[in-house]
Every structure is written in structure tokens, then in C-alpha cells.
Amino acid sequence: MDLRFTAPLWEYDGPAAWHFVTVPVDVADEIRLVAGEPRGFGSVPVEATIGATTFATSVFPDASSGGFVLPVKKAVRLAEDLADGDTCEVALRVVGE
């Protein structure tokens, strides 16, 4: 099952230059339904697609939103010409569903 949403890309304001997209709470609820028991740190393995780029990663719980955050690595940002604040159309598939 592909879960789809649109959200802005944002840069973590810590020492590393990590970029994330916040998964909306309603989509996070769907992830929890199909994922079963979470892995370490509450992460859930997913296959994500942004634009024409598909990549394997995990989503991680986000206490501030009640949803998850999706890390977007540099290779994906470069391939899709994304910068901080750009809106991303995302498709997620829970791995092992």
C-alpha cells in the first residue's frame, strides 16, 4: 500500500546537516497500523519515493508532531533539485507489509 502526502523539506538545526519531511499524523497512523511492532528508536523501515527517486530508509517518531519524520539524504535532494523549504510529494510503502 502506497501512502501519499505533500509536505515541506526542512533542515535540522543541530550540528549535522540532516534534512527531513514531517509525515502527517493521519499518514503516521496508517503506518502504525501496517507496520506492527517498531524497530529500535521506534523506527519503521519504508521505501520512499520523491519525484522520480525511490530510496530505502526508515521513518522515525517525532514527539513534537505525533507523527514521523522521513530523512531525505543529499543524493535524493540533488537528484530532485530540492532545497530547505521546498514542498515534496512523497509516496511511502512500509517494507515487509
Confidence at residue 57, expressed as pLDDT on a 0 to 100 scale:
96
- In this predicted structure, the answer to whether residue 41 has a pLDDT above a threshold of 80 is no
Provide the pLDDT confidence category of residue 15 given band limits of 50, 70 and 90.
Answer: confident
Domain ranges of the chain: 3-94
Of residues 34 and 76, the one with the higher pLDDT is: 76
In this structure, CATH architecture of domain 3-94: Beta Barrel (2.40)
Rounded distance between C-alpha atoms, residue 16 and residue 28, angstroms: 25
Q: What is the pLDDT of residues 46-97, one digit of tens each?
A: 999 999 999 999 999 998 888 899 999 999 999 999 999 999 999 999 997 5
Let me know if 74 is exposed, middle or buried by CB neighbors in 10 A (0-12, 13-18, 19+).
exposed
**Under a CB-based contact definition with an 8 Å cutoff, are residues 54 and 47 in contact?**
yes
Q: Which grid cell sits at 6?
A: 505533500
